[in-house]
């Protein structure tokens, strides 16, 4: 099954549906990536912080070796972790991540979060996580500004280490600030986006500036239940919400497919994660039916500005979304 692509502002093309690699177990990751390629996935959304870049690369290498795909058929995304924002750390860590994947360029490389924390050498702890100490008690900030980090990211594109570059978890204010200093406009903004958190104005701002949006955590609370997050457990699940299941039944689709179609029909890319092969196939099949305008509006009306992916919701005292 093939999916349509979104044309990015730098001329590159990004598949509209991909496979998200957060919380994909190391033990099964290589097989899952390999199977996902067989099912038809071409975009893989990874990150240093997910701790599975080596295994993801193994899955890709196997598929390439068996002639199922070529490197240029794939779209591989990774992200700069917070501990590597100091300008002089950006290229070395990108090169390490490329080596972990076993590739020589990323299709897209994003600043993961708009916060610079103190450098931890990969030999000391990798991925480093949020804390400076092994015990996980202390967050220390770096003095790197987002401007200096973005300028280092621009160099990655100029050197061909990343074909496209972008940001994640930026707010409107941070984007407007970025426009004052960026020589290269980000190609992609990756944000939490689901019916409880529709971020209409941020989507509008990005669209106005020609920045494509990738939605993460499209199923809302489901992903965060896996992380034992209380607010996610206390919230009505979108996958079993009567509005969503009712629309799904009408179209002969699953609730997951309706949630993903709601995003793709609004022009966003999606990167659902699943550890189950059947769901993987289902999640890719989310562009071949159409929701009615009234259905899209009703789903959008579920918005309650509820963001789950906030450090403090995991007990991490880092107030970037304060």
Ligand X SMILES: NC(=O)c1ccc[n+]([C@@H]2O[C@H](COP(=O)([O-])OP(=O)(O)OC[C@H]3O[C@@H](n4cnc5c(N)ncnc54)[C@H](OP(=O)(O)O)[C@@H]3O)[C@@H](O)[C@H]2O)c1
Binding-site residues for substrate sit at 112
Is residue 6 within the footprint of ligand X (CB under 6 A)? no
To ligand X, the closest distance from the beta carbon of 99 in angstroms equals 20
Which stretches within 240-300 are classed as H helix?
Answer: 242-251, 255-265, 277-284, 293-300
Q: Tell how far CA 218 is from the center of its chain.
A: 10
What gap in Å lies between CA 54 and CA 98, rounded to an integer? 9
Catalytic residue of the set 41, 50, 131, 196: 50
Active-site residue, 119 included: no
Q: How many residues does the chain have?
A: 322
| DSSP codes joined into one string, 123-161 | TT-SS--S-SSTTS----B----HHHHHHHHHHHHHHTS
Q: For residue 68, how many other CB atoms are within 10 A of its CB?
A: 13
Distance from first CA to last CA of the chain, Å, rounded?
A: 42
Is residue 82 within the footprint of ligand X (CB under 6 A)? no
**Residue closest to ligand X when measured from CB atoms:** 20
Q: Which stretch binds ligand X (CB under 6 A): 7-15, 35-43, 212-220, 229-237?
A: 212-220
Spatial neighbors of 135 by CB under 8 A, at least 6 apart, are none
To ligand X, the closest distance from the beta carbon of 196 in angstroms equals 12
For ligand X (CB under 6 A), the number of binding residues is: 29
Is residue 150 within the footprint of ligand X (CB under 6 A)? no
Classify the phi-psi angles of 197: left when phi > 0, otherwise alpha if psi is within -120 to 50, otherwise beta.
beta
What gap in Å lies between CA 238 and CA 304, rounded to an integer? 13
Is residue 122 within the footprint of ligand X (CB under 6 A)? no
Residue number with CB closer to ligand X (20 or 122): 20
What gap in Å lies between CA 111 and CA 145, rounded to an integer? 12
Q: Tell how far CA 312 is from the center of its chain.
A: 19
Is residue 114 within the footprint of ligand X (CB under 6 A)? no
Is residue 226 within the footprint of ligand X (CB under 6 A)? yes
To ligand X, the closest distance from the beta carbon of 226 in angstroms equals 5
Is residue 149 within the footprint of ligand X (CB under 6 A)? no
Q: Which stretch binds ligand X (CB under 6 A): 59-67, 115-123, 196-204, 221-229?
A: 221-229
Q: Which parts of 155-184 interact with ligand X (CB under 6 A)? A: 168-169
Q: Choose which of 58, 283, 284, 310 interacts with ligand X (CB under 6 A).
A: 283
Q: 3-state DSSP helix/strand/coil percent for the chain, to nearest 5?
A: 40, 15, 45
Q: Choose which of 3, 32, 199, 282 interacts with ligand X (CB under 6 A).
A: 282
To ligand X, the closest distance from the beta carbon of 257 in angstroms equals 7
Residues contributing to the annotated binding site: 112
Is residue 288 within the footprint of ligand X (CB under 6 A)? no
Q: Choose which of 248, 271, 284, 299 interacts with ligand X (CB under 6 A).
A: 271
Is residue 96 within the footprint of ligand X (CB under 6 A)? no
Residue number with CB closer to ligand X (158 or 319): 319
Spatial neighbors of 32 by CB under 8 A, at least 6 apart, are 24, 59, 275, 280
What gap in Å lies between CA 16 and CA 14, rounded to an integer? 6
Is residue 276 within the footprint of ligand X (CB under 6 A)? yes
Q: Which parts of 16-75 interact with ligand X (CB under 6 A)? A: 20-23, 45
Beta bridge partners of 192: 216
The contact set with ligand X (CB under 6 A) reads: 20-23, 45, 112, 168-169, 190, 216-219, 222-223, 226, 239, 254, 256, 271-276, 279, 282-283, 309
Q: Give catalytic residue positions.
A: 50
């Amino acid at each position: 099954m093939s999916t349509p692509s979104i044309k990015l502002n730098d001329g590159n093309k990004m598949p509209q549906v991909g496979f998200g690699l957060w919380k994909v177990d190391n033990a099964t990751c290589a097989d899952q990536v390999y199977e996902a390629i067989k099912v038809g996935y071409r975009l893989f959304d990874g990150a240093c912080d997910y701790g599975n870049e080596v295994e993801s690369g193994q899955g890709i290498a196997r598929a390439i070796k068996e002639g199922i795909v070529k490197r240029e058929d794939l779209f591989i995304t990774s992200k700069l972790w917070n501990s590597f924002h100091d300008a002089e750390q950006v290229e070395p860590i990108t090169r390490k991540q490329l080596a972990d994947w076993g590739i020589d360029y990323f299709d897209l490389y994003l600043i993961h979060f708009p916060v610079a924390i103190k450098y931890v050498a990969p030999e000391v702890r990798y991925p480093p996580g949020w804390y400076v100490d092994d015990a996980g008690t202390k967050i220390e900030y770096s003095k790197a500004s987002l401007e200096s980090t973005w300028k280092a990211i621009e160099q990655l594109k100029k050197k061909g280490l990343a074909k496209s570059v972008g940001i994640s978890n930026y707010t409107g204010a941070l984007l407007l600030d970025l426009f004052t200093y960026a020589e290269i406009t980000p190609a992609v903004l990756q944000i939490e986006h689901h019916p409880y958190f529709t971020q209409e104005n941020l989507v509008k701002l990005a669209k106005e500036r020609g920045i494509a949006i990738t939605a993460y955590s499209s199923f809302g609370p489901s992903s965060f239940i896996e992380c034992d997050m209380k607010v996610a457990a206390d919230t009505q699940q979108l996958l079993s919400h009567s509005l969503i299941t009712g629309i799904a039944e009408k179209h002969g689709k699953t609730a997951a497919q309706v949630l993903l179609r709601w995003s793709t029909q609004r022009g966003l890319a999606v990167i659902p994660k699943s550890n189950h092969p059947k769901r993987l196939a289902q999640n890719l099949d989310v562009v071949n039916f159409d929701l009615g305008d009234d259905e899209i509006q009703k789903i959008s009306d579920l918005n309650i500005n509820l963001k789950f992916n906030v450090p403090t919701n995991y007990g991490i005292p880092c107030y970037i979304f304060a």
